[in-house]
């Protein structure tokens, strides 16, 4: 294959300790190599910033709930069409873009890997169909296990080894990447129109608690040596005072250590980072959460940054969505999934003048600015819940520039402004730290050694931005920073140039990453016979038809791990 | 194919209605299916009559008659017809695989046409209702496990979805509802159907009175007084009793069919049903699941939505997706005489569309991709014989409730007959080679 | 007033989308520029000049601009799209989406108008001598914002969902009206001089609908309030008496439906509720 030399750029490669040095990047056969021959094509990027391609750890881009949202919200689409071009298929955008548009828009921002963070196992065939169709980016998905009947029964029985084998079976059956928990036990309670609020509430008819479910799955994660932490959306989403549940959730597994990496990743912590007793006095719980993250190594978080625009809420957390719908009175979609989980979708608009929205916005930024270690906090908007992923450049501008965020602070609800710590926070992210939270740290957290870095052997996924780090001061030139990250000068995927000056010039097929934990035959036999006994009782599809074959993935990339069971 | 051993295939998915029964056991001998167990009578005939009325060779019209030709020539003619079209319609899709539908959308974008599926004449109104009122739904297993109240409104599953009640509702066994006694059935219909005969309460409604009755139920559930004595010929006392049953259940499930979507009010009827279920969720747990007909109409909506943003009636003539049923929908565009060419895949609009649309359809060149001879194929310029999904060709389909399943290939198609996916792919390649205008 | 006249060169069957046939677009342009403007005919790009003979004078300024169309343009969509001033006069039948998102100026049609007339209109005047289709003054698909200003007058009959999600403004229908007039209405006034097919004001939360003919029954989510002597449309007083209903209670609505007593004898039973 072709050789490519990316010459003269200022490289930010946090995983290899490179901070803005002028280094040439050599590529052959889709991988980064030490050097290339003189016949290599040269891409001159003098005066530009070079980073590994963006790695998004949490973005709702594919699957049943995303598609139900698209179907329910034609009004989201008509204002933002994408006409077809010589290289691209047509589509629609805004908060829930169609699949082709999703891939192109990520690539235009220099992103090359994105994970769908919540897929209901029974409907994951659908998720993969959509992921297959998303062009350019590499991807994966996290199957939802926190309300699963088999999981809860094994937890109740204390059979952790069998639970581990079941999770191994599920990851292979769903071609999933990591364990996802959403509102553990709460979605099962939603079967009866109820919810769970605290870690020690009992799941109706199953006699287990969220604490037990979370602990058991974190133990399983360790036993199976899975590449990522347990990815969790805690109980109590959007309720005032839920920051305590978040703290309790993080703390309930502080004694479980993985060999490398965090035990638990708490996602979109802004939605579960609220202090206060009611909507009228919601406050920021960010200082407490950040403090916990700063003093404990077993957790990481992402904020789920809010952006003041029209959004679509979509999550597996069915009961939370209904609660929010009752507030917003817009449109509500709900889809429970038998024996496993659920989903909810609501349309909403965030306004600067709205007290609660302003507090939410502040909580997210406070989390990002108060967590000291950029290896523990990742840039997300929980697309499309906090805002569309196309808002990342704007969020970056708020992180690198106090002035940029002050302009927004000046316009938000006055009471919120008074009650947030944010106006007093001076910290400004450097470009190096931005590279960390948008690619290096996320790749590391996901256990994807081939991503998020530019060392020899890594995948040649590279983003080149039109900012000259030695000439600009991001804090003052935040508009230039925002513009540069919105429209990459070049995006390279597997060694091929796919974006030039923010336009897609080539479409390629990305890979779907999934995890295949290996466990002993004996334990797997026990579990499969449990499944065979119960499957027809629990599901309305046959066990033989449930697993997704590898050939289903257009381009499959399995990551094998060896489980200790 | 004589002397082939008899083989039995387990866990086969039936591809007739959208119930998604995937526990069929098919025994076959070469190309002949001997038996199809565990399915309903319709599923048996789907497999055992696969060979009837088959189109066996590609056909093109020459001198007024359809004559056999080669695959290549037929593809060539089809491509030419589509490239020359200024307002082509690509229609059908509900009886083929998602993989084929994906090709269909690609082709529609390539030639600049409208891509619409049978939703447009059955549950399109349901989707339009969802676009205004949202939807509180679930996968069918949830109903089986939990529903103590089941309502069939304007549908007759005994005939349309014969195994629906055994698999998912009143005759099924769930974790929390073990027997028939654990559930109540209400049927609302204009006449006492076979399904109504099984009901604990049957409500006979005035034809075209669904919107009024649904509104009255909402009024009762929202705690307001109904001032009329009768609504849609149903006494208000009865309406209030039914409202109480709905509010007092632990988990209610409403199923509705074409009697709602295709009667006066259409998408407003479905919106009212969806709003009713939404209002009930303030009081108890309630879900709604539409009774989709064809086995992959849901799949057609899903693929169309994730690829274009819209579930049906997608206009790609101007290079980007646009959606407005009534304008961009097949029947309306045909009835107004706007469509100048049609590609029909796994459907028979000549038989099913209203007269005004059929009249215009018969005046334009039609390319049909279809396993069996139909009035539409008889009226076509080009006919491509195709394999039957779930019998002779594998592919992904979506059950009523959005669960994706894989239809298997059980037997070989007749010699030389290809899959919809292969045929559409060949047309796409030919169109690209000929240089589609844009 | 300077007139620019468009005359179709042939019958259109395949839909033409011509947003440029609008005073805002033509004002200040030359005839040649206008003729060379590309529009869509089905999936083909074509010069406006191939579809229409374009003659006459073009106003320099917007308000000085009158666009006249003589002939059947029922297949031409989006005439007057987002116009802010000037006037359009169609002597013939007009197509779908006429005056969509209009913000000012006026449109008159001697024949019929298609569906989705003036959806999301903000201001301006529209008058159609013949019939109009469905969803007059309505919202975008899945949206909740219908017309919010201006006046639409239809001399003939109209289709379903007139004034859907209306936020303000006035719609007058001189003929009959199909189902669901004022569905999801929030504010504004609709007056229908002849008969309605039914389900008037369904799911409305505010606004006023006055029906002089038979209203087609009243939904069970409406409550009879009283008999009123008159109804008002702007400053105009319409003599009654009227049965006055409020609703839609299922949307916690404070909308008003007034049905003239003389033509609604089937609603007489409501009078017994007066004593309650």
pLDDT tens-digit readout, B89-122: 999 999 999 999 999 999 999 999 999 999 988 8
Chain A residues inside the 8 Å CB shell of B19: none
Q: Inter-chain contact C250–B227, Cβ cutoff 8 Å? A: no
Q: What is the pLDDT of residue A495?
A: 97
User: Angle formed by the axes of helices B297-308 and B98-111, to 10°?
Assistant: 50
3-state SS class at B46: helix
Chain A residues inside the 8 Å CB shell of C141: 74-75, 78
Rounded-to-integer distance, Cα A388 and Cα B307, Å: 18
Interface B–C counts its CB contacts (< 8 A) at 95
Residue A329: CB atoms within 10 A of its CB come to 10
CA C190 to chain centre: 10
Query: Does the beta carbon of A333 lie under 8 angstroms from any beta carbon of chain B?
Result: yes
Q: Does residue C2 register a pLDDT over 90?
A: no
DSSP character for A207? -
DSSP calls for A216-254: HHHHHHHHTT-SSPEEEE-SSTT-TTTHHHHHHHHHTTT
Are the C-beta atoms of residues A5 and A43 closer than 8 Å to each other?
Answer: yes
Interface A–B counts its CB contacts (< 8 A) at 183
| B123 pLDDT tier (thresholds 50, 70, 90) | confident
Q: What share of chain C is helix, strand, coil (3-state, %, to 5)?
A: 10, 35, 50
Rounded-to-integer distance, Cα B115 and Cα B328, Å: 9
CB contact set of B64 (below 8 Å; sequence gap of 6+) = none
CB contact set of B78 (below 8 Å; sequence gap of 6+) = B343, B367, B382, B384, B427, B430
Rounded-to-integer distance, Cα A345 and Cα A320, Å: 10
Question: Among partner residues B219, B275, B438, which is closest to C249 by beta-carbon distance?
Answer: B219
Rounded-to-integer distance, Cα B258 and Cα A21, Å: 67
Are the C-beta atoms of residues A393 and A470 closer than 8 Å to each other?
Answer: no
Q: What is the pLDDT of residue B437?
A: 52
Closest CA to C233 of C175, C273, C193: C193
Question: Among partner residues A125, A338, A342, which is closest to B404 by beta-carbon distance?
Answer: A125
Rounded-to-integer distance, Cα A334 and Cα A345, Å: 6
Q: Does residue B388 register a pLDDT over 50?
A: yes
C191 in any annotated domain: yes
Are the C-beta atoms of residues C43 and C65 closer than 8 Å to each other?
Answer: no
Chain C residues inside the 8 Å CB shell of B88: 43
* Average pLDDT, rounded, for chain B: 95
Rounded-to-integer distance, Cα B85 and Cα B297, Å: 26
Pick the CATH number of B59-121+295-388+416-434 from 3.40.50.1970, 1.10.510.10, 2.40.30.10, 3.40.50.740: 3.40.50.740
Question: Among partner residues B109, B141, B311, which is closest to A71 by beta-carbon distance?
Answer: B311
3-state SS class at C10: coil
Rounded-to-integer distance, Cα A263 and Cα A300, Å: 8
3-state SS class at C109: strand
State which residues of chain A have pLDDT below 50.
Answer: none
Rounded-to-integer distance, Cα B310 and Cα A92, Å: 9
Rounded-to-integer distance, Cα A121 and Cα A170, Å: 8
Rounded-to-integer distance, Cα A519 and Cα A226, Å: 12
A positions 198-257 inside 8 Å of B (CB): 205
State yes or no: cis peptide before A384, omega within 30 of 0: yes
Q: How many helices (H) and strands (E) does chain A have?
A: 18, 27
Residue C232: CB atoms within 10 A of its CB come to 13
Tokens of B333: 């565009």
Q: What is the pLDDT of residue A533?
A: 97
Are the C-beta atoms of residues C126 and C106 closer than 8 Å to each other?
Answer: yes
Mean pLDDT of B306-335: 97
C69 in any annotated domain: no
Mean pLDDT of C10-35: 95
Full domain range(s) for residue C183: 112-275
Rounded-to-integer distance, Cα A498 and Cα A481, Å: 21
Residue C27: CB atoms within 10 A of its CB come to 20
CA terminus-to-terminus distance, chain A: 42
Tens digit of pLDDT for each residue in B58-81? 999 999 999 999 999 999 999 999
Q: What percent of chain B has pLDDT over 90?
A: 89
Q: Cα dist. B61→A359, B78, B368 in Å?
A: 69, 11, 12
Phi first, then psi, for residue B66 (nearest 5°) are: -80, 125
Are the C-beta atoms of residues C90 and C112 closer than 8 Å to each other?
Answer: no
Rounded-to-integer distance, Cα A550 and Cα A125, Å: 11
State the best of A338, A342, A539, A553 to mutate against chain B, taking most chain B CBs within 10 Å. A338
Rounded-to-integer distance, Cα A435 and Cα A481, Å: 13
Domain count, chain C: 1
3-state SS class at A133: helix
CA A207, A210, A213, A216 dihedral sign is: negative
Identify each DSSP E strand in A243-309 by its residue range: 264-266, 274-275, 283-284, 299-301
Q: What is the pLDDT of residue B438?
A: 44
Mean pLDDT of C136-154: 96
CA A411, A413, A415, A416 dihedral sign is: negative
DSSP character for B348? -
Give the closest-approach CA distance of C250 to chain B in angstroms: 6
Sorted by where each begins, the domain ranges of chain B are 59-121+295-388+416-434, 124-290
Query: Does the beta carbon of B36 lie under 8 angstroms from any beta carbon of chain C?
Result: no
Rounded-to-integer distance, Cα C68 and Cα C63, Å: 14
Give the closest-approach CA distance of B343 to chain A in angstroms: 21
Tokens of A388: 């569309």
CA B280 to chain centre: 27
Are the C-beta atoms of residues B320 and A88 closer than 8 Å to each other?
Answer: no
A neighbours by CB contacts (3+ pairs under 8 Å): B, C
Give A550-553 contacts, CB < 8 A, sequence gap 24+.
A550/A175, A552/A125, A552/A128, A552/A175, A553/A128, A553/A131, A553/A132, A553/A175, A553/A512, A553/A514
Pick the CATH number of B124-290 from 3.30.9.10, 2.40.50.140, 3.40.228.10, 3.40.50.720: 3.40.228.10
| C275 pLDDT tier (thresholds 50, 70, 90) | low
Rounded-to-integer distance, Cα B265 and Cα B272, Å: 10
Tokens of C227: 């008999």
Are the C-beta atoms of residues C145 and C166 closer than 8 Å to each other?
Answer: no
Q: Inter-chain contact A71–B127, Cβ cutoff 8 Å? A: yes
Angle at B220 between CA B218 and CA B225, to 5 degrees: 125
Residue A479: CB atoms within 10 A of its CB come to 11
Q: How many helices (H) and strands (E) does chain B have?
A: 17, 22
Q: What is the pLDDT of residue A1?
A: 60
Query: Does the beta carbon of C193 lie under 8 angstroms from any beta carbon of chain B?
Result: no
Are the C-beta atoms of residues A503 and A83 closer than 8 Å to each other?
Answer: no
Q: What percent of chain C has pLDDT over 70?
A: 99
Q: Inter-chain contact A68–B284, Cβ cutoff 8 Å? A: no
Tokens 């407003």 belong to B268
C81 in any annotated domain: no
Are the C-beta atoms of residues C144 and C165 closer than 8 Å to each other?
Answer: yes
Q: Inter-chain contact C141–A72, Cβ cutoff 8 Å? A: no
State yes or no: cis peptide before C47, omega within 30 of 0: no
C194 in any annotated domain: yes
Rounded-to-integer distance, Cα C204 and Cα A254, Å: 54
Q: CA nearest C76 in B: which residue? A: B338
A positions 69-88 inside 8 Å of B (CB): 70-74, 77-78, 81-84
Rounded-to-integer distance, Cα C188 and Cα C209, Å: 9
Find the helix or strand (DSSP H, E) in which A30 lies: none
Give the closest-approach CA distance of B345 to chain C in angstroms: 21
DSSP character for B122? T
Give the closest-approach CA distance of B279 to chain A in angstroms: 11
Q: For chain A, what is the radius of gyration of the CA atoms? A: 22
Q: What share of chain A is helix, strand, coil (3-state, %, to 5)?
A: 35, 20, 40
A positions 471-530 inside 8 Å of B (CB): none
Chain B residues inside the 8 Å CB shell of A325: 134
Question: Among partner residues C142, C220, C249, which is closest to B212 by beta-carbon distance?
Answer: C220
Q: Inter-chain contact B222–C223, Cβ cutoff 8 Å? A: no
Tens digit of pLDDT for each residue in B259-279? 898 899 999 999 999 999 999
State the best of C250, C257, C267 to mutate against chain B, taking most chain B CBs within 10 Å. C250
Are the C-beta atoms of residues C84 and C24 closer than 8 Å to each other?
Answer: yes
């Amino acid at each position: 294959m072709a050789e490519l030399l990316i010459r003269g750029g200022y490289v930010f490669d946090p995983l290899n300790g490179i901070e803005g040095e002028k280094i040439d990047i050599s590529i052959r056969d889709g991988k980064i190599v030490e050097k290339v021959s003189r016949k290599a094509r040269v891409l001159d990027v003098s005066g530009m910033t070079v980073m590994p391609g963006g790695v998004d750890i949490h973005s709702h881009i594919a699957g049943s709930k995303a598609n139900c949202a698209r179907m329910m919200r034609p009004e989201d689409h008509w204002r933002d069409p994408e006409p077809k071009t010589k290289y691209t298929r047509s589509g629609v955008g805004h908060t829930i873009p169609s699949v082709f548009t999703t891939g192109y828009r990520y690539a235009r921002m220099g992103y090359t890997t994105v994970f769908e963070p919540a897929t209901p196992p029974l409907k994951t065939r659908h998720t993969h169909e959509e992921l297959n169709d998303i062009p350019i980016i590499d991807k994966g998905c996290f199957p939802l296990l926190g309300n699963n009947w088999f999981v809860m029964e094994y937890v109740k029985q204390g059979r952790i080894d069998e639970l581990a084998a079941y999770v191994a079976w599920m990851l292979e059956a769903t071609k999933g990447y990591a364990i996802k928990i959403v509102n553990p036990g709460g979605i099962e309670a939603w079967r009866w129109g109820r919810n769970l609020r605290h870690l020690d509430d009992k799941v109706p008819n199953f006699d287990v608690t969220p604490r037990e479910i979370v602990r058991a799955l974190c133990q399983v994660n360790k036993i199976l040596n899975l590449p990522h932490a347990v990815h969790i959306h805690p109980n109590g989403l959007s309720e005032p005072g839920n920051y305590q549940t978040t703290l309790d959730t993080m703390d309930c597994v502080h004694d479980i250590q993985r060999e490398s990496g965090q035990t638990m990743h708490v996602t979109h912590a802004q939605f579960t980072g609220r202090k206060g007793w009611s909507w009228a006095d919601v406050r920021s719980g960010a200082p407490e959460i950040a403090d916990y993250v700063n003093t404990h190594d077993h957790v990481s978080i992402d904020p789920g940054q809010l952006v003041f625009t029209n959004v679509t809420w979509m999550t597996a957390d069915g009961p939370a969505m209904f609660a929010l719908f009752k507030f917003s009175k817009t449109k509500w979609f709900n889809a429970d999934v038998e024996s496993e989980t659920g989903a909810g979708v609501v349309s909403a608009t965030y306004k600067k003048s709205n007290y609660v929205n302003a507090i939410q916005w502040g909580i997210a930024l406070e989390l990002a600015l108060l967590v000291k270690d950029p290896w523990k906090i990742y840039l997300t908007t929980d697309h499309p819940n906090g805002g569309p992923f196309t808002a990342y450049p704007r969020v970056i501008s708020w992180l690198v520039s106090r002035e940029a965020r002050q302009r927004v602070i000046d316009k938000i609800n006055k009471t919120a402004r008074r009650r947030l710590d944010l106006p007093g926070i001076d910290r400004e992210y450097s470009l190096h730290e931005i590279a960390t939270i948008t690619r290096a740290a996320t790749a590391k957290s996901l256990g994807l050694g081939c991503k998020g870095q530019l060392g020899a052997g890594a995948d040649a996924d590279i983003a080149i931005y039109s900012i000259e780090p030695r000439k600009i001061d991001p804090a003052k030139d935040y508009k230039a920073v925002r513009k540069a990250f919105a429209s990459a000068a070049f995006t390279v995927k597997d060694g091929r140039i796919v974006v030039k000056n923010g336009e897609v010039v080539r479409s390629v097929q990305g890979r779907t990453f999934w995890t295949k934990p290996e466990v002993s035959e004996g334990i797997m036999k026990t579990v499969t016979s449990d499944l065979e006994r119960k499957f027809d009782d629990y599901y309305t599809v046959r066990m033989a038809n449930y697993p997704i074959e590898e050939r289903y993935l257009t381009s499959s990339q399995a990551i094998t791990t060896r489980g200790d069971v | 194919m004589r002397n082939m051993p008899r083989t039995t295939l387990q866990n086969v998915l039936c591809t007739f209605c959208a119930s998604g029964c995937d526990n069929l056991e098919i025994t076959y001998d070469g190309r002949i299916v001997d038996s199809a167990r565990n399915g309903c009578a319709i599923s048996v005939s789907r497999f055992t009559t696969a060979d009837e009325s088959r189109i066996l060779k590609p056909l093109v019209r020459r001198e007024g008659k359809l004559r056999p030709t080669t695959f290549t020539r037929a593809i060539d003619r089809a491509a030419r017809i589509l490239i020359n079209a200024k307002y082509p319609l690509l229609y059908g899709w509900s009886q083929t695989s998602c993989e084929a539908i994906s090709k269909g959308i690609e082709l529609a974008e390539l030639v600049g046409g409208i891509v619409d599926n049978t939703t447009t004449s059955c549950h399109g109104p349901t989707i339009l209702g969802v676009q205004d009122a949202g939807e509180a739904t679930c996968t069918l297993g949830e109903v089986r496990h939990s529903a103590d109240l089941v309502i069939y409104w304007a549908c007759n599953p005994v005939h349309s979805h014969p195994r629906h009640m055994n698999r998912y509702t009143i005759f099924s066994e769930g974790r929390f509802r073990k027997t028939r006694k654990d559930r109540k059935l209400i049927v609302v219909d204009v006449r006492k159907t076979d399904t109504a005969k099984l009901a604990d309460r049957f409500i006979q409604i005035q034809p075209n009175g669904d919107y009024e009755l649904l509104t009255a139920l909402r009024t009762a559930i929202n705690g307001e007084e109904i001032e009329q004595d009768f609504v849609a010929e149903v006494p208000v006392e009865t309406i209030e009793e039914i409202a109480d049953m709905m509010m007092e259940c632990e988990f209610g499930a409403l199923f509705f069919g074409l009697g709602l979507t295709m009667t006066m009010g259409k998408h407003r009827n479905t919106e009212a049903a969806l709003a009713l279920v939404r209002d009930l969720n303030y009081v108890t747990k309630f879900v709604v699941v539409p009774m989709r007909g064809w086995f992959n109409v849901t799949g057609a909506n899903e693929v169309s939505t994730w690829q274009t943003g819209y579930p049906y009636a997608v206009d790609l003539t101007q290079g980007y997706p646009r959606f407005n049923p009534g304008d961009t929908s097949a029947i309306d565009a045909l009835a107004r005489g706007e469509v100048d060419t049609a590609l029909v895949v796994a459907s028979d609009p000549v038989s099913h569309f209203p007269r005004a649309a059929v009249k215009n359809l018969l005046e334009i060149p039609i390319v049909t991709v279809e396993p069996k001879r139909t009035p539409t194929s008889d009226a076509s310029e080009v006919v491509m014989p195709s394999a039957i999904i779930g019998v002779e060709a594998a592919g992904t389909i979506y059950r009523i409730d959005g669960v994706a399943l894989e239809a298997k290939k059980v037997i070989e198609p007749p010699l030389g007959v290809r899959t919809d996916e292969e045929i559409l792919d060949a047309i796409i390649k030919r169109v690209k080679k000929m240089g589609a205008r844009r | 007033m300077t007139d620019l006249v468009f005359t179709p060169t042939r019958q259109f069957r395949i839909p033409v989308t011509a947003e440029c046939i609008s005073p805002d677009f033509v004002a200040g342009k030359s005839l040649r520029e206008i003729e060379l403007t590309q529009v869509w005919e089905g999936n083909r790009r074509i010069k406006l000049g191939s579809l229409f003979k374009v003659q006459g004078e073009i106003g320099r300024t917007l308000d000085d601009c009158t666009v006249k169309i003589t002939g059947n343009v029922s297949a031409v969509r989006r005439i007057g799209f987002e116009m802010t001033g000037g006037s359009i006069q169609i002597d013939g039948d007009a197509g779908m989406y006429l005056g969509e998102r209009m913000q000012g100026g006026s449109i008159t049609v001697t024949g019929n108008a298609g569906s989705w007339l003036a959806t999301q209109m903000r201001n301006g005047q529209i008058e159609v001598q013949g019939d109009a289709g469905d969803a007059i003054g309505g919202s975008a698909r899945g949206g909740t914002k219908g017309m919010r200003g201006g006046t639409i007058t239809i001399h003939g009959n109209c289709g379903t969902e007139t004034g859907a999600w209306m936020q303000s403004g006035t719609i007058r229908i001189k003929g009959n009206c199909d189902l669901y007039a004022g569905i999801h209405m929030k504010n504004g006034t609709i007056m229908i001089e002849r008969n309605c097919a039914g389900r008037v004001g369904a799911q409305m939360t505010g606004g006023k609908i006055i029906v002089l003919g038979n209203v087609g029954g009243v939904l069970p989510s409406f409550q009879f309030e009283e008999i009123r002597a008159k109804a008002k449309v702007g400053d105009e007083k319409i003599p009654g008496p009227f049965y006055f209903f409020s609703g839609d209670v299922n949307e916690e609505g404070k909308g008003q439906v007034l049905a003239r007593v003389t033509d609604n004898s089937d609603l007489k039973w409501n009078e017994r509720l007066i004593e309650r």
